[in-house]
Amino acid sequence: MATIKDKIEDLRNALHRHNYNYYVLSQPEISDIEFDEMMHELQRLEDENPDLRDDNSPTMRVGSDINKSFAQVSHKYPMLSLSNTYSEGEVTDFYERVRKALNEEFEICCEIKFDGTSISLTYENGELVKAVTRGDGEKGDDVTDNVKTIRSIPLKLRGNNYPSFFEMRGEILMPWSVFDELNREREAREEPLFANPRNAASGTLKLQNSAIVASRKLDAYLYYLLGETLPCDGHYENLQEAAKWGFKISEATRKCSTLQEVFDYLNYWNVERKNLPVATDGVVLKVNSIRQQRNLGFTAKSPRWAIAYKFQAERAITRLYAVSYQVGRTGAVTPVANLDPVQLSGTIVKRASLHNADIIESLDLHIGDMVYVEKGGEIIPKITGVDMEARSFLINEKVKFITNCPECGSKLIRYEGEAAYYCPNETACPPQIKGKIEHFISRRAMNIDGLGPETVDMFYRLGMITNIADLYNLTADSIKGLDRMGQKSAENIIKGIELSKSVPFERVIFALGIRFVGETVAKRLAKAFKTIEDLENADLQTLVSVDEIGEKIATSIIAYFSNERNRTLIEQLKLTGIQLQQDEKDMSDHTDKLAGKSIVISGVFAQHSREEYKELIEKNGGKNVGSISAKTSFILAGDNMGPAKLEKAQKLGVPILSEEDFLTLIS
Ligand code: IVH
């Protein structure tokens, strides 16, 4: 008879294997559904048998939403950087330097230079024990929990001929497809966009909540093995071994024995890199033999045995014939350069971002100028300079940022500390109105199915909706037949609008699109104020007393409700039947028994999951925090609370409550 322990072990092994097949080899053997079913089964068995916990179980890959601040860890070997070169001449110089210093045959291992964020992984007896960021090169942040969510990083190694202790370094990356999708979502939520996948990857790795990290689908390539007992003298050969242990090693890695072969590699990847799913910014050349690497040694900052050859950022030159201005949902005005079409990195560019008035000023931009356009890691091409020599006497006037809104004519304003100009006419400027409606119906807000930006635009042009409340006056009869809209689509839209009436109060607050009120703030507001009237009438003092609401958010909320048009809008919304107060049913099990308390959860529990305890803390008015400090009210401790935490708690005199104590406290 298979014991529970065997069953868990079998499932873990199978899931590690399927994970490797899918994320490292890209050759899945089972369907996603089968994978998910096995994962659920394992999760269930682990929940029921907390004594069989394993920190490297495949279930650890989903992350946890317990906030965690990162401990600083010293690197065993410092994480140095590489010296950069930009020309073939400098590559030749490097090659010659190495040849003279070694005075014997040598090979160069050529690798892609991945443009992400570097990571150091420590493996002990085939298990991942620590993942640390580069930090200042000497010390970095312990981001182990976040790294465990990256499916292409093995938690347990395959086979058995790996060293018992070694370090693996590599690059954590956000694939272009994930980056584009993430930015699309952020744009819809009016959150600041990530400039490039590198920033997105490093930002994600530093998130406090590993469940969000898991949802961001990071990837990783590993390129540097360190340890006292590596299998071979060749760096390339070691990487091939590491591939067998389950690491994702780039298939673009090559060994070259002549300078010509190195140049062929550079030229090939200078073009071919555009077809890779992740961002790259050059090629790394490494002397292959580790013995020879040791002979060459290091300078203070970088190894003498390696060099980075950076690809030229692609640049084109073209004529600027106009600057136009776009107004977003919040009224922010973005200047856009209109260009004579030019070919750049495989696409034709006609428009480029000019970001803000300061950038236009610093470029001393004139209409008719010949400008340089670059597409670096960024999504939108940008103007990086002006060819001053090409400026003629006949040049048109200097570009001056507009003073009035191009859509509604209102005078633009600039908030202190912000680079953008805004159109303040929130309630009557067309793109702001349409933007607000689009935000209102979006998935995370009222989630009105069947309605998209084009339909909103049509209803708006026809004068059928001028604000979000008007949506609730639409009927299937009034919209069917408009611009080829059939009975079915019309009914779907009305059904979606109808269903939005049961969307909870907190999401309605978010849907209003008040500046700086995102989903989390909306939740806090709903809990603190219970009804829209209470929120509407709250003063600054009351607002800032709510957890996580600072003066900036509070001022914005007050400004929103002081606007006469918004007050009228709220009156109109009250007639629609949407949820403008907290549902009592949702609140019946809420108390304020833990009001004002900061609570750390630690260890393994028998009666509820960590998730459930977190929820219980919040329902009773407390706050779940990640790390112990003098401000911590108490620790809710299960079995196996970490010794470091225990010591810290004792040092700071923070009380420790058992599961039973805690349940009695809130019962
Ligand atoms: S080797 C001592 N190989 O580039 C040499 N680095 O400027 C250690 N990088 O911090 C680095 N791809 O984040 C190496 N194939 C590759 C790389 C690579 C990207 C990054 C890495 C490092 C930086 C060096």
84 lies in the same domain as 204: yes
The two three-digit tokens of residue 23, written as one number: 């994320």
The two three-digit tokens of residue 465, written as one number: 């909706």
Rounded distance between C-alpha atoms, residue 39 and residue 52, angstroms: 16
213 lies in the same domain as 249: yes
**How distant is the alpha carbon of residue 43 from its chain centre?**
26
> Of ligand 1's atoms, which has the minimum distance to the CA of residue 134?
10
> Is residue 593 one of the residues assigned to a domain?
no
Q: Return the amino acid letter for 441.
A: I
260 lies in the same domain as 394: no
> Is residue 96 one of the residues assigned to a domain?
yes
Which residue has the least CA distance to atom 12 on ligand 1?
113
CA of 252 to the centre of ligand 1 (A): 15
CATH number at residue 520: 1.10.150.20
Q: Checking DSSP bridges between strand 382-386 and strand 370-375, what pairing results, if any?
A: antiparallel
Residue ranges for the chain with pLDDT beneath 50: none
Which residue has the least CA distance to atom 21 on ligand 1?
118
Q: Which pLDDT does position 456 carry in this prediction? A: 93
Longest dimension (CA), the chain: 91
Rounded distance between C-alpha atoms, residue 427 and residue 441, angstroms: 17
Q: What are phi and psi of 26, to 5 degrees?
A: 55, 35
- Alpha carbon separation from 483 to 362, 454, 486 (Å, rounded): 46, 11, 9
Q: State if residue 223 touches ligand 1 by the CB under 6 angstroms criterion.
A: yes
162 lies in the same domain as 295: yes
- As a residue count, the chain comes to 667
**CA-based nearest residue to 277, from 171, 177, 152, 153:** 177
**CA-based nearest residue to 509, from 543, 465, 459:** 543
Strand runs labelled E in 213-366 = 219-226, 254-256, 280-287, 306-310, 314-327, 332-344, 347-353
164 lies in the same domain as 279: yes
**CA-based nearest residue to 247, from 231, 271, 261, 270:** 231
Counting ligand 1 atoms within 8 A of each CB, the residue from 119, 121, 171, 310 with the most, and so the one to mutate, is 171
**How distant is the alpha carbon of residue 409 from its chain centre?**
37
265 lies in the same domain as 229: yes
pLDDT tens track for 158-208: 998 999 999 999 999 999 999 988 888 887 776 777 777 888 999 999 888
Which residue has the least CA distance to atom 16 on ligand 1?
113
Q: State if residue 81 touches ligand 1 by the CB under 6 angstroms criterion.
A: yes
Rounded distance between C-alpha atoms, residue 667 and residue 660, angstroms: 10
259 lies in the same domain as 337: no
Which residues lie across from 287 on neighbouring strands?
108
197 lies in the same domain as 126: yes
> Is residue 67 one of the residues assigned to a domain?
no
Which position has the token pair 């609370």? 641
**How distant is the alpha carbon of residue 76 from its chain centre?**
29
Average pLDDT, the chain: 90
Which residue has the least CA distance to atom 18 on ligand 1?
113
249 lies in the same domain as 392: no
> Of ligand 1's atoms, which has the minimum distance to the CA of residue 306?
5
- Alpha carbon separation from 618 to 508, 556, 589, 641, 663 (Å, rounded): 21, 26, 11, 22, 14
Q: State if residue 118 touches ligand 1 by the CB under 6 angstroms criterion.
A: yes
Q: Which pLDDT does position 567 carry in this prediction? A: 95
Q: Name the DSSP class of 304.
A: T
> Is residue 562 one of the residues assigned to a domain?
yes
Q: State if residue 306 touches ligand 1 by the CB under 6 angstroms criterion.
A: yes
Helices (H), 276-388: 290-296, 357-363
Q: Which pLDDT does position 150 carry in this prediction? A: 96
Q: Which pLDDT does position 168 carry in this prediction? A: 98
The total of structural domains in the chain comes to: 6
Out of 502, 524, 540, a domain closes at: 502
Counting ligand 1 atoms within 8 A of each CB, the residue from 82, 138, 202, 310 with the most, and so the one to mutate, is 82
CATH number at residue 322: 2.40.50.140
Rounded distance between C-alpha atoms, residue 37 and residue 54, angstroms: 19
Q: Are 288 and 278 in contact (CB under 8 A)?
A: no
Is 130 annotated as catalytic? no
455: number of CA atoms within 13 Å, CB side? Answer: 21
Out of 362, 390, 425, a domain closes at: 425
530 lies in the same domain as 497: no
Buried b (16+ CB within 10 A) or exposed e, 188-213: eebeebbebbbbbbbebbebbbbeeb
> Is residue 70 one of the residues assigned to a domain?
no
> Is residue 72 one of the residues assigned to a domain?
no
Q: State if residue 248 touches ligand 1 by the CB under 6 angstroms criterion.
A: no
**CA-based nearest residue to 528, from 550, 551, 544, 508:** 544
Q: State if residue 423 touches ligand 1 by the CB under 6 angstroms criterion.
A: no
Q: State if residue 369 touches ligand 1 by the CB under 6 angstroms criterion.
A: no
Counting ligand 1 atoms within 8 A of each CB, the residue from 85, 173, 219, 223 with the most, and so the one to mutate, is 223
End-to-end CA distance of the chain: 41
Q: Which pLDDT does position 353 carry in this prediction? A: 85
Q: State if residue 171 touches ligand 1 by the CB under 6 angstroms criterion.
A: yes
190 lies in the same domain as 261: yes
> Is residue 566 one of the residues assigned to a domain?
yes
> Is residue 69 one of the residues assigned to a domain?
no
Which residues lie across from 224 on neighbouring strands?
169
Q: Which of 68, 113, 248, 523 is catalytic?
A: 113
Rounded distance between C-alpha atoms, residue 348 and residue 371, angstroms: 15
Q: State if residue 529 touches ligand 1 by the CB under 6 angstroms criterion.
A: no
Q: Return the amino acid letter for 310.
A: K
Q: Name the DSSP class of 389.
A: G
CA of 117 to the centre of ligand 1 (A): 9
Out of 425, 440, 455, a domain closes at: 425
CA of 234 to the centre of ligand 1 (A): 18
318 lies in the same domain as 305: no
- Domain of 570, in residue numbers: 505-587
